[in-house]
A = this chain, B = another copy of it.
Amino acid sequence: MTRTIIFMSDLGLRDELVGVCHLVMNRIAPEARIVDLSHGLPPQNIQAGAMVISHALPYMDATAIVLAVVDPGTGARRALAVETRAGRRLVGPDNGLLSLAWQADGGVARAVEIDPRAVGTTTVSPVFHARDLFAPAAARLAAGMPLEDIGPVAEGSRLVVLSVEAAEAEPGRVHGQVLDVDRFGNIRLNVRPPDLERAGFRVGTTVEIATTGISIRARRITAYGDVPPGEYGLLVDAWEWAAIIRFEASAAAAMGVTRGDPVWIAAAN
């Protein structure tokens, strides 16, 4: 039975880090298919990594194994293999990276701490657990090793959980923050469709969006193509987050915002 390993990291594609992890997995589980979900995330941004995994979750089948590595504290946290209540297996550091995924899957069913010998590693570099612990563990699971053979049980209730700050919404206003800026310069906010609804910002409504440095007007639209030349738009993106966009240009560059910046949205007069 062929398993798919879905590999996500902040290791980048500049050098051999990701490729060597592929070689390690191919050796242990030659039949497994490896899908590279992304390796280009902002380095060491655990929240961005956790969101990427949870966005992809609905498109993974139940036998998929997630290998996730965003690991600023390599060597100072536990190395985990987790089975969710939905039966998916997640492999990665115990720093919250996997937590949005297991929450979306109804929680942790079982968790173990990866034992190097169990996954066939004799020497573990203290600076490259992706190669020496996480990739081998994911490949062993893909090759059929049961979770409990990967290492000793890790107490599920003590695993690190990430919290994503929610926006505050009331009629006529939403206060949120910048979650991410994508390749096109679109600004993703921690604002969800129910927040927009609560504030009364329907499609066609014009709002005023303020940061600490600038204030612009935007119309709530549906698709990227709906924004007129030179103008801003506010839409719900493909993962159900509100995003500020600009006509064939970078909204983030024009507004001068970056991850974490506060944003106030109010009904325009």
A: residues with CB less than 8 A from B are 4, 6, 8, 11-16, 18-20, 22-24, 26-27, 33, 35-41, 43-44, 48, 52, 55-56, 59-61, 72-77, 125-128, 131, 180, 182-184, 222-226, 235-238, 248
Instruction: State A18–B40 Cα separation when bound (angstroms).
Output: 11
Instruction: State A14–B42 Cα separation when bound (angstroms).
Output: 8
Query: Does the CB pair B76–A223 fall under 8 Å?
Result: yes
Query: Does the CB pair B52–A238 fall under 8 Å?
Result: no
Contact of A23 among B18, B59, B224, B235 (CB under 8 A): B59
Whole-angstrom distance between the Cβ of A69 and the nearest chain B Cβ: 13
Q: Which residues of B contact A131 (CB under 8 A)?
A: 59, 238
Whole-angstrom distance between the Cβ of A124 and the nearest chain B Cβ: 10
Query: Does the CB pair B19–A41 fall under 8 Å?
Result: no
Whole-angstrom distance between the Cβ of A104 and the nearest chain B Cβ: 14
Query: Does the CB pair B27–A40 fall under 8 Å?
Result: no
Query: Does the CB pair A56–B26 fall under 8 Å?
Result: no
Contact of A37 among B12, B19, B48, B224 (CB under 8 A): B19
Instruction: State A149–B266 Cα separation when bound (angstroms).
Output: 46
Instruction: State A75–B11 Cα separation when bound (angstroms).
Output: 34
Instruction: State A48–B15 Cα separation when bound (angstroms).
Output: 9
Query: Does the CB pair A40–B20 fall under 8 Å?
Result: no
Contact of A127 among B22, B237, B248 (CB under 8 A): B237
| Residue of chain B at shortest CB distance from A48 | B15
Q: Which residues of B contact A52 (CB under 8 A)?
A: 15-16
